[in-house]
Structure 1
């Protein structure tokens, strides 16, 4: 977790592809009819955690990785894969490619905000093969160590937090969330990341699923998740 993320083979590629097939049906489009791909991003979702989605989020491999990162008992089991943005090629890109960290704490009024004392971490779940040209999520390696002092003790809206962490992490090297269907990136809640333009030819299917921590992130704790913001 020192880099701000770890990559896990959570399921066989055919499981990820089975989930992708269900998502095509959900959005009413076809992999064989690109003339219907008219939007750069189409949103789908898994809210049940059933079938191939459940095989991925409930896999022993992913559970072991989360135990290693958060400590045994440090995370709560997922109920679903959540929101799934599907990015399509050969179109003007969506205006959603700014550097940010995801909303990670609930506010008193039931909304969400960004804080250094995160109550979630992030999973990026691949349902398609993602190569360098297929709009892989960009990750600033080690940027969680910049985000914590940039945020301090404050609580911020998404835009304000993004401005702070983008500036603080500007010198970090880049990694890209590439891989095979069924692979999962376990991303530190303070790792700075961003979408990017799709330059390939095949749609990219990827879930953005929050995992609730059993307690807010404590930078002084003795877990890889906490040590990642200190070392």
Structure 2
């Protein structure tokens, strides 16, 4: 589902799709000119020229968190704030103060070696090995996974692969582990087989597109088969209060968990 340009928020159909599929695509979530300004800073720091393939020295380059005004501006548009309120609940999320991590992918025949199915775990990150980072059934530490497109991304440009509805499988997997949750190592032990039957969707779109995803959504990178580099940011939306799927006024991100658990 996509939003209408300049719409005040998400439609009821979009919210229902988020609960069912685990994500919603918002076109024109932030202006293209902000995407271009931000991309220029990222190219500078990456030491690459998007117009010069000779400067593309790795299949993937990752850059950290950026808090300059242009980056904060992309994440704090009126449209996105309205969507955060609708999906997480007014007063239950923290305005993004920065964006990151940024992933720059380049056309190359080399395997990216980071294209396995996974979820973005959200706590226990003080442990050096990221496979020991954790998630639990109330998504401690993360209200949403977000995908910000800073370049145009077509089907050949390494769009993120999404398993629609897979957040339900993860909720069911996490429920028996209660508050302690599971590590990424434990979740990935079977290669996320429980969601293998799910419909695969590609996170394509023009620069300025944002995918707001349930924190349990199973997703994966893929090789870049196109001709132009791709820039994506994948920050979390942080909660201001813990998620509670069983509260009387549960927001859609919480309702999706409760529905998955029956």
Q: What's the CA shift for 1:19?
A: 0.9
Q: Could you state the TM-score of these two structures normalised by the residue count of structure 2?
A: 0.82
1:228 partner SS: helix
Q: Secondary structure at the match of 2:189?
A: helix
Relative to total residues, which structure has the larger strand share, 1 or 2? 1
- Structure 2 unmatched runs, 5+: 1-17
Deviation string, structure 1 residues 35-65 (Cα, Å, up to 9, x no partner):
12131101123332x2321211111111111
Q: How many residues are treated as equivalent by the alignment?
A: 230
- 2:55 is equivalent to residue 22 of structure 1: no
Q: Which residue of 1 aligns with 2:6?
A: none
Of 208, 212, 230, 1:186 maps to: 212
Contact 2:47 2:55 in 1 (8 A): no
Residue 226 of structure 1 deviates from its aligned partner by 1.4
**Structure 1: stretches of 5+ with no match in the other structure:** none
CA distance in 2, matches of 1:217, 1:98: 27
Structure 1 segment 1-231 matched on structure 2, within 5 A: 1-2=18-19, 3-8=21-26, 9-48=28-67, 50-106=68-124, 112-118=133-139, 119-120=141-142, 121-154=144-177, 155-163=181-189, 166-221=192-247, 222-229=250-257, 230=259
Which of structure 1's runs of 4+ aligned residues deviate more than 4 A? 107-111
User: In 2, Cα distance between the equivalents of 1:74 and 1:168?
Assistant: 30
What's the C-alpha RMSD, in Å, of the aligned pairs?
Answer: 2.0
Q: Which has the higher relative contact order, 1 or 2, with Cα contacts under 8 A spaced 6 or more apart?
A: 1
- Higher helix proportion: 2
TM-score, structure 1 length as denominator? Answer: 0.92
Cα shift at 1:115: 1.9
